[in-house]
Each structure stands twice: as C-alpha cells, then as structure tokens.
Amino acid sequence: MKSIEELKKIREKSLKKVNLREHGEEGGDQIEVLVGMATCGIASGARQTLNAIVDEVSKENLDNVKVIQVGCIGYCHSEPIVQVNIPGEKPILYGKVDTKKAREIVQKHIKGKEPLKESIIDTSFDRI
C-alpha cells in the first residue's frame, strides 16, 4: 500500500463483499443463493464454497444475486450444499459443492441459465 486512496479502494471492495454476503443488492428480481453453513457444512468446506460464490458474484458484478448463509438444510451426506432460487423457477439444490463447482454454478447456472445437471440433488421442494 502506497497511499490512503489505495487503502480506501481495498476497504470499499471488502465492504462490498461483506454487504453482498449479508444483504445482497437491492432491487429487481433477486436471485438467492443459499449456502448451508451448519456445523456439518462448515466441516465439509462450506466456508470456502461461500467465499468462492461471493467472490465470483462480485467479480462478475451480478447485482441481482443475494448470497445467504443458512443453517442445516438436511442433506448432511451431501455437504457443502448450495440452493439456487431464481424467480419463476423451481429451486435447485446442489450437493458436494467445492470452490470449483461453486464458481461453475455462478457462471453456468446463474449467468448462463444452464443448471449443472450432474450436481443436482433435489428440485422437489418450494423453499427452505
């Protein structure tokens, strides 16, 4: 760091990630990405999964995506779990989501509108 301006830019970038993680961006049709952060999820790597999703959403400037930490979703055998809720579509639940798959979910499902069929573990529910 060489200046106070550089420090301010770093702070702004960090605050944007924290706000995205806690609140999402306001307005429009919000896409929700729920990440199971109960003990079983964290032990399986959910924190890294969550961070990868937040980073990818931020990097792509997807201001209509809200990333939400949730408790146990009930699929402990498939942790880390990620649920994608796109308005007007059935929620999709992904299992065993590592950081690579987390970034693919953002790129292919959220941006590209193509779910990762090989990673889906459930689509039969309304919401958690």
Q: Confidence class of residue 1 from pLDDT cuts 50, 70 and 90?
A: low
pLDDT digits (tens, 9 = 90+) for 59-88: 999 989 999 999 988 889 999 999 999 998
Query: In this predicted structure, what is the pLDDT of residue 6?
Result: 83
Please compute, for residue 92, the number of CA atoms within 13 A of its CA located in the half-sphere on the CB side.
20
Alpha-carbon distance 67 to 53, whole Å?
Answer: 8
Name the phi and psi angles at 94, rounded to 5: -105, 145
Query: In this predicted structure, what is the pLDDT of residue 118?
Result: 93
Query: In this predicted structure, what is the pLDDT of residue 100?
Result: 98
**Tally of domains in the chain:** 1
Residue 41, domain CATH: 3.40.30.10
- Length of the chain as a residue count: 128
* Cβ neighbours, 10 Å, residue 13: 10
Q: What is the pTM of this model?
A: 0.76
Domain presence at residue 37: yes
**Domain extent for 28:** 4-122
- Answer for the pair 35, 70: CB distance below 8 angstroms, yes or no: yes
